[in-house]
Structure 1
Amino acid sequence: MRPIISIVVPVYNKENYVSRSIMSALDQTYTEFEIIVVDDASTDSSMEKVEEFKDSRIRVLHRSQPGPGGYAARNYGIREARGSWIAFLDADDAWFPEHLAQSMRIANEFPEISLISAARMSDMDGAMKLDPFAKQFISQGPQILYLSDYLEFACKGLRAMGTNSILIKREALYRNSIFPEGRAERSGDLYTWVMLIARMKLMVWSPHVASISYRQASFVSRNSVPSMRLFHEMVSDLEPYIDECQSKALKKYVNRMVKYAWLENKKVSTNIEVSELCRSFYWDVDLIYCCKWFLISLLPFDVLVSLHKRHLSSR
């Protein structure tokens, strides 16, 4: 029988975590699903851990070369999915048992909406924290968001979508490769969420807590950085699908993502020029913001990082 939900789990060298992730999917109270594990050319014992599960709902696909960010692996899983809905679960994170059941309840309540998300929890070295959007809205019930709504909140650090919380109606997908494989090493999912809501016009956010992401404060990625170019190109990529008002909101959001990507690039390379930041900004819609960050970018990097951390902690 065809499953209702296809769960795509990209795996690259997650031997210490993948069993927890898969078990959290198998423990869902909603059971009409398949799990598509996409081996992204792991070199550790991740696949041996997966093979320990004998559930017929698990399928394993293999890629010959790893793709940064797991984007190619997720796209592969989408192409092979059999379900009416597609969900994603990172191999080092986990779901709460009611996630799929609550998501399907929301799907039945809002049958015209093809994009569902929910609240997320993070675990930073044992310290549990609810995502900022959920903190503000979890007591107010489901939220209907259009592109401009999503961008306005995201500019304030309130993102209503995350990889482990999202479900997409398969028939509404405009293509089978929604993640930017080959265009970014990191943070390409943030590009994908904007693309999805722009193409699908609206989303619904559910107040249930879907997932828990495990992070270590001591872990700092030095192997990959977000792409300034990808975020800058988001505007031209979406121009055919948005109006003038949405374009202005998008450019403001892109400016903040470009600044974020520039900071992350600066952390690993002292050679990145301020001129690259200036070229990537959309000055016409956000002159004060762009001028502010141009001036800040001239400061020594350690001072710049300190100011940025202080800004984030003040939210």
Structure 2
Amino acid sequence: MTPFFSVVIPLYNKEGFIEETLKSVLTQSFKYFEIIIVNDGSTDRSEDIVNSFKDFRIKIFTIKNHGASHARNYGIKKASGNYIALLDADDFWYENHLLTIFHLINEFPDMGMYCSGYNILLGGKHYKKSKLKYIPYGYKGLVKNYFESNLYDSIVNSSAVVIPKYIFDNISFFDVDLRSGQDTYLWTQIALKNSVAINNIVTSIYVKNDNSLSTSKATEDRLLLLDKFIEQEKTNKSLKKFMDMNRYAVALNFKMTNNILSKSIYKNIDPNNLSLKQKTIFLMPKNLLRYLYSLKTKLDRKGIFFYLYR
């Protein structure tokens, strides 16, 4: 029997998470799925832990390490199901996740993506519910303006989205040349050409790492994303604003790390797309910015959440 969903999990050195991640899939109330795990050259016990599970629905493929995008693409191409349910190896599903998406697919066929709400786990202790602009909690239906609704948390999370398999052939797979922002790039490509449906109830847990963009190579890598949709932005104001928010985040992080590209990126932002708060924050001294960012991280870990510049 062909599985309805193919659950694709890229796996690289997640021995501390993969057991619970797999259990969260196997305990789904909707049972018609296969699990495709792509072991991306793990050097820890991740593969052994997967092999300890004795369930015919689990298929594991071991490849050389090429990164999460390559691993996801590999798994999608191996999938038997018509719907690809993505899940990262350190995130978790509540038991209603696949059933929620199954009902959404039946109610709203022919969508480019199917999404649900998610909890963000910060510091290993505190949960924050994903906040979507113009989409209240409990809303079920079409996303009326994808890019406007993406200005807080992302509508699409890589562990809370299902994509029809044919979309990858018609639109694109994950871009292996992008080391940061590859998810955003693919979601944007799909949303520009397809409608998106959501049931905004929480069905998954996204485990957020403490690594900040301001102190990682990821910010520089994300530069490649910023010019991907220049032509489309000229005729799509919502897309322009969405991409300007990405530019703002990169410019702000570059300013904190003394990168000279900060001002040039900021100049490419339409001032009308920034609030007074955002403009004021960008003008702050870098040391004050670093302090605010550090304070936000500490408060997140204590379960006190606020948006620094949204």
Q: Normalising TM by the smaller chain, what interval?
A: 0.7 to 0.9
* Equivalent residue runs for 1:29-68 within 5 Å: 29-67=29-67
Q: Quick check: 1:154 aligned with 2:139?
A: no
Which has the higher mean CA deviation after the structures are superposed, 74-83 or 287-296?
Answer: 287-296
What is the DSSP-based 3-state SS (H/G/I as helix, E as strand, rest coil) of the residue aligned with 1:6? strand
* d(CA) in 2 for partners of 1:266, 1:19: 40
Counterpart contact for 1:75–1:177, Cα < 8 Å: no
- Deviation string for 1:71-129 (max 9, x for gaps)? 22111111221111001111011100111011101111112324210010122231122
Which residue is equivalent to 2:173?
178
Q: Quick check: 1:234 aligned with 2:228?
A: yes
Q: Quick check: 1:133 aligned with 2:132?
A: yes
Question: Runs of 4+ in structure 1 displaced over 6 angstroms?
Answer: 290-295
Which residue is equivalent to 1:207?
200
TM-superposed deviation, 1:177: 4.6
Q: Could you tell me which amino acid in structure 2 is paired with residue 162 of structure 1?
A: N
Structure 1 residues 289 and 114, CA, compared in 2 at 3 Å: closer, same or farther?
closer
Structure 1 residues 47 and 177, CA, compared in 2 at 3 Å: closer, same or farther?
farther
What is the DSSP-based 3-state SS (H/G/I as helix, E as strand, rest coil) of the residue aligned with 1:103? helix
Count of residue pairs brought into register by the alignment? 297
* Equivalent residue runs for 1:218-233 within 5 Å: 219-220=211-212, 222-226=215-219, 227-233=221-227
Query: Which of 253, 259, 263 is residue 264 of structure 1 equivalent to?
Result: 253
TM-superposed deviation, 1:55: 1.0
Q: CA RMSD in A?
A: 3.0
Bigger helix fraction = 1
* d(CA) in 1 for partners of 2:25, 2:79: 16
* Equivalent residue runs for 1:98-137 within 5 Å: 98-124=96-122, 125-133=124-132, 137=136
Counterpart contact for 1:119–1:134, Cα < 8 Å: no
TM-score by length of 2: 0.84
Structure 1 residues 282 and 171, CA, compared in 2 at 3 Å: closer, same or farther?
same
Which residue is equivalent to 1:95?
93
Q: Quick check: 1:277 aligned with 2:265?
A: yes
TM-score by length of 1: 0.82
* d(CA) in 1 for partners of 2:133, 2:96: 17
Q: Could you tell me which amino acid in structure 1 is paired with residue 147 of structure 2?
A: L
Structure 1 residues 229 and 314, CA, compared in 2 at 3 Å: closer, same or farther?
closer
* Equivalent residue runs for 1:68-87 within 5 Å: 70-87=68-85
Q: Could you tell me which amino acid in structure 2 is paired with residue 261 of structure 1?
A: V
Which residue is equivalent to 1:301?
286
Query: Which of 150, 165, 172 is residue 160 of structure 2 equivalent to?
Result: 165
